[in-house]
Amino acid sequence: VHMSLVSRAGDLESFNLGLIIWVAIISQLRDRPQPLLLGSDRTSTIIGTLLIVPVMLKVTQLSSAGVFLNLLPFFCALGFALIAVGRSRLGQYWKELGMVAVLAIPGEKALSRLLETILMCVSQENLATLTAKFATASLDVLGYQVSLTGTEIFMANTVVHVDEGCSGARGMDFLLRLALVALLMFAAQRLQRIIIPLSAIVIAFVVNGIRASIMAHLANAGNKAAFDYWHIGDGSQIFGLAAVILFV
């Protein structure tokens, strides 16, 4: 039901994330050393039913993506778990429920907004400014005549503005959610628990910085068709795919 609704809403990123998380949950359940111990009590069954029924009634009225679509998987998973195993054994499945909770984190850039708030406190710079600096430095190393003012990249034939939508925040959010799933799914030492989310942030930032550099080059060359393809066309999906592959 969740994947069908996300697909209907046309949110490709949420669809991909949902697919990965549901496969991870199924894998986690299949790999458990002991079989699922079914059996609930009346109170748990009532609570689980009260969680599921209103959500399913709301589904018929859903017309677009939003907070409800984020929360739907968690409420349903918790409800079914209560009906299946009851409150007493619910803790045995905290990892699986934790993975579903990753889907329930509100907003497509919730985690990256938290990161950006931390950056502003530490360096007084946002992600867009840092991305513009990275792209400018990359172009300078490659021999382009380039300068930077704020988030404006000045080149020989054009000026490129790096706005919030090009800051890489959405990519960071996606990889950070995958990092949370990885930490829940696999045993990791303390250092690894730091490296995994940190690598998600770095990879998303670097890949997006390279994307911004390519956009600036294409704009400077006056190749509008190629610029549109890599900026808002199918080519833009390749950078996201590359970031996920590097993170994995």
pLDDT at 67 over 80: no
In this predicted structure, which of 28-32, 44-48, 193-197 has the lowest mean pLDDT?
A: 28-32
Spell 193-222 as b/e; 16+ CB within 10 A means b: eeebbeebbebbbebbbbbbbbbbbbbbee
State pLDDT tens for residues 150-167: 888 998 888 888 887 777
pLDDT at 39 over 90: no
- Whether 218 and 230 have beta carbons less than 8 Å apart is answered as yes
Q: Which two tokens stand for residue 230?
A: 């890599």
pLDDT score for 64 = 64
In this predicted structure, which of 45-49, 144-148, 200-204, 244-248 has the lowest mean pLDDT?
A: 144-148
Q: Name which residue leads in pLDDT, 119 or 102.
A: 102
pLDDT score for 196 = 94
Tell me if residue 149 falls in helix, strand or coil: strand
pLDDT score for 2 = 85
Average pLDDT over residues 176-195: 91
In this predicted structure, which of 30-34, 100-104, 176-180, 185-189 has the lowest mean pLDDT?
A: 30-34
pLDDT at 33 over 80: no
Closest CA to 181 of 23, 69, 58: 23
- Please give the radius of gyration of the chain, using alpha carbons only, rounded to the nearest integer: 22
Whether the predicted model's global pTM rises above the 0.75 cut: yes
pLDDT score for 173 = 86
State pLDDT tens for residues 169-185: 888 888 999 999 999 98
pLDDT score for 45 = 92
- Residue 77: pLDDT band by 50, 70, 90 thresholds? very high
Residues 6+ apart with CB under 8 A from 97: 74, 77, 78, 81, 90
pLDDT score for 243 = 92
Average pLDDT over residues 30-46: 84
- Residue 137: pLDDT band by 50, 70, 90 thresholds? very high
pLDDT score for 29 = 87
State pLDDT tens for residues 212-241: 998 888 888 888 888 888 777 777 788 888
